[in-house]
Amino acid sequence: MDLEDPRLRPKLAVWKFASCDGCQLTLLNCEDELLGLAGAIEIAYFAEATRSVVEGPYDLSLVEGSITTPADLQRIHEVRAASRRLVTIGACATAGGIQALRNFGDVAEFTRVVYAHPEYIATLDRSTPISAHVEVDFELRGCPIDRAQLLEVIAAFLHRRRPRISSESVCMECKRRGAICVTVAHGTPCLGPVTHAGCGALCPSYNRGCYGCFGPAETANTRSLARRLRELDMSERDVARVFRTFNAAAPAFAEESARHPQPTEEP
Ligand code: SF4
Ligand code: SF4
């Protein structure tokens, strides 16, 4: 690919579904690298950065957010049809996000209680990841995603290779940066052993337990960790809660949460 020739620059599109925009902001925050990126790639659609729109099809689409409305459901198929490669970014797009807490409740009841005219609210009763609806070429995890990992995904696309993103746990990142294990040293509950790496063990390096914002690591042994959390005096309900945050609908976390009494159940 001759990146010097502007006519041959691949087109990048960035799409938003149900989300807080934090993952798109990660791309905007790549200040130093954005100029270089703009030389190698044409930013063809990115509503958060520019009003100009270059028509598709697009070589690479980054999709933020989950599917929560009938309109989303239709639009994601249009985005997929217009994209050669589609990468989902963040907990919303890869696992349904914090808005997937609705999956465990009664959405009709919420809308009745919150809105004066719930009949105007067009919403689905579940928040689902993009991969539940269309084929996804790569999923980048995190809430928000990590800047270096995002740049690696874009570089890998430009060089036509798989992104070098490890699916190991946060514990491995702790060891690499020499952070002391907060559970072993202080008895602090931590989801690091079952959480996907990518943040560089940010929370443990500040003496805090990980709360799982990067979602489940590959082959996460959540049963074993839940037993350890109980030994650390966490209540059964808190064990259910701790797996039900940003990645509540990710299968490994949802299944572990369901094994414990639910926060809404009577004692
Ligand atoms: S994954 Fe987190 S930071 Fe990214 S859009 Fe969703 S809520 Fe925001
Ligand atoms: S340590 Fe855990 S909660 Fe903290 S940023 Fe990393 S993945 Fe997220």
Residues with Cβ within 8 Å of 219's Cβ and at least 6 positions away in sequence, in order, are none
Longest dimension (CA), the chain: 67
Taking the centre of ligand 2 as the mean of its atom positions, its distance from the CA of residue 208, in whole angstroms, is: 9
| Best residue among 16, 25, 63, 64 to mutate for probing ligand 1, ranked by most atoms within 8 Å of CB | 64
Residue 193 CA: which ligand is closest? 2
| Best residue among 146, 165, 210, 225 to mutate for probing ligand 2, ranked by most atoms within 8 Å of CB | 210
CA dihedral 222, 225, 230, 233 (to 10 degrees): -130
Q: Is the pLDDT of residue 127 over 80?
A: yes
Report d(CA 76, CA 69) in Å as an integer.
11
CA dihedral 29, 35, 40, 43 (to 10 degrees): 60
The values of phi and psi at residue 185, to 5°, are -80, -40
Q: Is the pLDDT of residue 2 over 70?
A: no
Look at residue 54 in the predicted model and tell me its pLDDT.
92
* 6 to 2, 42, 161, 200, 266: CA distances (angstroms): 9, 8, 22, 36, 63
Selection from 210, 175, 180, 216 nearest residue 196 by Cα: 216
DSSP labels, 42-91: EEEEETTT-S----S-EEEEEEESBB-SHHHHHHHHHHHHTEEEEEEEHH
Look at residue 57 in the predicted model and tell me its pLDDT.
96
Selection from 72, 53, 65, 66 nearest residue 11 by Cα: 53
Q: What is the pLDDT of residues 196-248, one digit of tens each?
A: 999 999 999 999 999 999 999 999 999 999 999 999 999 999 999 999 999 99
Look at residue 156 in the predicted model and tell me its pLDDT.
93
Where b means 16+ CB within 10 Å and e means fewer, 168-182 reads ebbbebbeeeebebb
List, chain by chain if needed, residues with CB within 6 Å of any ligand 2 atom. Answer: 170, 195, 199, 201-204, 210-214
Q: Is the pLDDT of residue 116 over 90?
A: yes
Taking the centre of ligand 2 as the mean of its atom positions, its distance from the CA of residue 170, in whole angstroms, is: 8
Q: What is the pLDDT of residues 82-100, one digit of tens each?
A: 999 999 999 999 999 999 9
Q: What is the pLDDT of residues 9-33, one digit of tens each?
A: 899 999 999 999 999 999 998 878 8
Q: Is the pLDDT of residue 173 over 60?
A: yes
Partnered with residue 45 across adjacent β-strands are: 13
Residue 17 CA: which ligand is closest? 1
Residue 144 CA: which ligand is closest? 1
147-158 helix and 31-40 helix, angle to the nearest 10 degrees:
10
CA dihedral 66, 67, 68, 69 (to 10 degrees): 140
The amino acid at 50 = T
Residues 241 and 263 sit within 8 Å (Cβ to Cβ): yes
List, chain by chain if needed, residues with CB within 6 Å of any ligand 1 atom. Answer: 19-20, 22-23, 64, 90-92, 97, 143-144
Measuring from atom 2 of ligand 2, which residue has the nearest CA? 210
Q: What is the pLDDT of residues 154-168, one digit of tens each?
A: 999 988 899 999 889
